[in-house]
Amino acid sequence: MNVLIVHAHPESKSFNGAMTAVAHRTLSTQGHTVTVSDLYRDGFKAVSDRGNFTGEVDPEFLKLQAEERFAAHNNGFSDELEQEISRLEAADLVIFQFPLWWFGFPAIMKGWVDRTFAAGRIYGGSPPYEGGRFRGRRALLSLTTGAPAEVYEADGMHGDLMGILRPIHRGILSFVGYDVLAPQVLCGAARVGEKAREDALEAWADRLTGIMNEAPIEIGRY
Amino acid sequence: MNVLIVHAHPESKSFNGAMTAVAHRTLSTQGHTVTVSDLYRDGFKAVSDRGNFTGEVDPEFLKLQAEERFAAHNNGFSDELEQEISRLEAADLVIFQFPLWWFGFPAIMKGWVDRTFAAGRIYGGSPPYEGGRFRGRRALLSLTTGAPAEVYEADGMHGDLMGILRPIHRGILSFVGYDVLAPQVLCGAARVGEKAREDALEAWADRLTGIMNEAPIEIGRY
């Protein structure tokens, strides 16, 4: 199995870094091929623009989707972007490891999606959702939050975490056909203490050992 | 009234560009002071990292929130970031003008929020939501979609647009206290035709004329 871990955290020694290291080690030990796209380390460019393309781009009016479709048929993506698209295409399982910032991805991870999920390559050749290109493959979000777990309950201050994640689960992952696995979450990562963080790393390793047999979750609309 | 328009589109001649131009002109004509943060034009840095700060940052372990709180008390934000934070602090009304990409902000706009909504300056001194720093002020999303309007109905393919926008409405705007006004939306902006786009620009100008008397919308949890 090919596994892609997309990792977004500005501090490599963070708990998110430890989660990615555990996933890398656990899955490699099981014989899987694991690739890590460490977006901060690699200085991944977050902003989708003309720099996505190597070929000639309409100088008068930039239409990103049209340029993506052209690039898809003419080997026209920048080297950095071609690498990420190829990694995505090769992956049977994609893990997004990130801290939840303002109820969503850090910008660098949103930019990875904006740029890598290119028209004509990752979507657009078939209907979305059930007809999506990655049907039968798996994706999951592994995240930390700053606030404690109780505020993400349905009646908590912020509201149900699954609702907060739904635009990502549905509008990004389900859209291109992935079976979505339950998110891996450590709430209040900076305040739960060292023991709880160690337990969370161990639970993550345990879960990954059986990840290919897990049933996907249902992602409702809204 | 001070109005801040945060604008994110890679093509200045786009319909999004026209929406921002109409807003700038309409609100200026009414005597308001209008500032535009045109993120693509200005090359705004999307990625939150050590570059946010001018002072010494812990070389061993980067904690962004702690560094933000320190910078807030020591005039320690980078010039680019200080400019954007000051614009946000001065604004009675903030308009976010953007194309909906993957059910969310383009990365450059998410990065503007990640970096500008700084701990110790924009939030953290009082409880969020009702206690948020910007209570009594107004914010709204003005956006285009690629897909047509019917897919964003509650029973449409993508599901209710208000659900899609809820993490932004609640997790970003309500969180810091804003009264959220109804989003301004043109679905299928590239396919509705020139007449419909012109009508949409006119409707936007009409709406802006009375924007200060509009009642905010209710943002439910999930």
The DSSP secondary-structure symbol of B45 reads: -
Q: Specify whether A146 is catalytic.
A: yes
Task: Spot the catalytic one: A24, A132, A152, A177.
Answer: A152
The 10s digit of each residue's pLDDT in A64-122 is: 999 999 999 999 999 999 999 999 999 999 999 999 999 999 999 999 999 999 999 99
One-letter-per-residue 3-state SS of A138-152:
EEEEEEECCCCHHHH
Task: Spot the catalytic one: B76, B152, B169, B177.
Answer: B152
B222 vs A154: CB contact, 8 Å cut-off?
yes
What sign has the CA pseudo-torsion B146, B148, B154, B158?
negative
Task: Judge whether A73 is closer than 8 Å to chain B, CB to CB.
Answer: no
Q: Which residue of A has its CA nearest to B108?
A: A47
Q: What percent of chain A clears pLDDT 70, i.e. is strictly above it?
A: 100
Tell me: pLDDT of B80 over 80. yes
Q: What percent of chain B clears pLDDT 90, i.e. is strictly above it?
A: 97
Q: What is residue A92's predicted lDDT score, i.e. its pLDDT? A: 98
Q: Specify whether A7 is catalytic.
A: no
Residue B52 DSSP SS3: helix
| B59-87 average pLDDT score | 97
Distance from CA of B47 to the nearest CA of A (A): 6
Q: Specify whether B24 is catalytic.
A: no
The 10s digit of each residue's pLDDT in A190-199 is: 999 999 999 9
Task: Spot the catalytic one: A17, A40, A158, A188.
Answer: A158
Q: How far apart are CA A68 and CA A3, in angstroms?
A: 25
Distances (CA, A) of B109 to A107, A111, B95, B99: 8, 10, 12, 10
Distance from CA of A103 to the nearest CA of B (A): 5
B48 vs A171: CB contact, 8 Å cut-off?
no
Nearest to A67 by CA among A119, A113, A117, A116: A119
Q: What is residue B190's predicted lDDT score, i.e. its pLDDT? A: 92
Task: Judge whether B154 is closer than 8 Å to chain A, CB to CB.
Answer: yes
Domain boundaries along the sequence of chain B: 2-213
- pLDDT category at A55 given cuts 50, 70, 90 is confident
Q: What is residue A56's predicted lDDT score, i.e. its pLDDT? A: 87
Distance from CA of B135 to the nearest CA of A (A): 17
The 10s digit of each residue's pLDDT in B17-60 is: 999 999 999 999 999 999 999 999 999 999 999 999 998 899 99
Q: What is residue B5's predicted lDDT score, i.e. its pLDDT? A: 99
In the predicted model, what is the mean pLDDT of chain B? 96
- Into which CATH architecture does domain B2-213 fall? 3-Layer(aba) Sandwich (3.40)
Q: What percent of chain A clears pLDDT 90, i.e. is strictly above it?
A: 97
A47 vs B103: CB contact, 8 Å cut-off?
no
Q: What is residue B67's predicted lDDT score, i.e. its pLDDT? A: 97
| B135-143 average pLDDT score | 98
Q: What is residue A220's predicted lDDT score, i.e. its pLDDT? A: 79
Tell me: pLDDT of A222 over 80. no
Nearest by CB to A10, from B64, B164, B166: name it. B64
Tell me: pLDDT of B96 over 90. yes
Tell me: pLDDT of B221 over 80. no
Task: Judge whether A222 is closer than 8 Å to chain B, CB to CB.
Answer: yes
